[in-house]
Amino acid sequence: MLKIVGVGICDGQITERAAKIISEAEVVFGSKRAISLASKYIRGKIFEIKKFEKEVYSEIEKIGAEKNVVVLSTGDPMVAGLGSKIRGTVEPGISSVQMALAKVKEDLCNVVVIDAHAKSAENEFDLIDRKNLLILADKNFDPSVFGKKRAALIENICGNERFVLGRAEDLEIRSDYVIVFVWR
């Protein structure tokens, strides 16, 4: 049985259900960070995922067919996470999207979430005419494409966090773990 479990983005965000699922697993896979967030609940054998690619996911699925396997996903597995990459049951977690929305005090129903982390998403930016945009980004993202629009930059949530409000064209990204929020 294979389960993909969200471990949140900060210490202390693992739900009781997720903690139980993790503690019952025979084998636990996850990134170094995800393993660290869940370490106090892990009883099974631990394998760090170092390459996030199809071949690795296939291997995990094979092991999951024979053993009780948990794959840890930072944040929520269904928000730019492992839930859509590995076949299994998903247990949600608290995502960086939820954390960012709490910081800018916006409702998820008023937002379009765009994944521009390590990829181009420019064809989706025209949605700004109808909704606020929450963009999962990295150092290569250029918020100046939104000009003078009001924006927020949130880098390294739950780490060495930096939160900046201003015009999109003035935002300077310094991290590979960043959310850019742009009001329409």
Number of Cβ within a 10 Å radius of residue 42: 16
Q: How does DSSP classify residue 77?
A: T
Do 104 and 23 share a structural domain? no
pLDDT of residue 57: 98
Q: Of 49, 69, 94, which one is at a domain's C-terminal end?
A: 94
Do 13 and 80 share a structural domain? yes
Do 164 and 136 share a structural domain? yes
pLDDT of residue 151: 98
Do 89 and 26 share a structural domain? yes
pLDDT of residue 126: 80
The range of the structural domain enclosing residue 110 comes to: 97-182
Do 52 and 26 share a structural domain? yes
pLDDT of residue 124: 76
- Per-residue pLDDT tens over the stretch 108-156: 999 999 998 777 777 778 888 889 999 999 999 999 999 999 999 999 9
- Residue ranges of the chain with pLDDT lower than 50? none
CATH number of the domain to which 107 belongs = 3.30.950.10
Do 30 and 16 share a structural domain? yes
**Alpha helices per DSSP H over 29-165:** 32-38, 54-64, 96-104
User: How many domains, the chain?
Assistant: 2
pLDDT of residue 58: 98
pLDDT of residue 134: 97
Per-residue tokens: 80: 């730019």
Q: Of 94, 118, 141, which one is at a domain's C-terminal end?
A: 94
Q: Of 40, 74, 94, which one is at a domain's C-terminal end?
A: 94
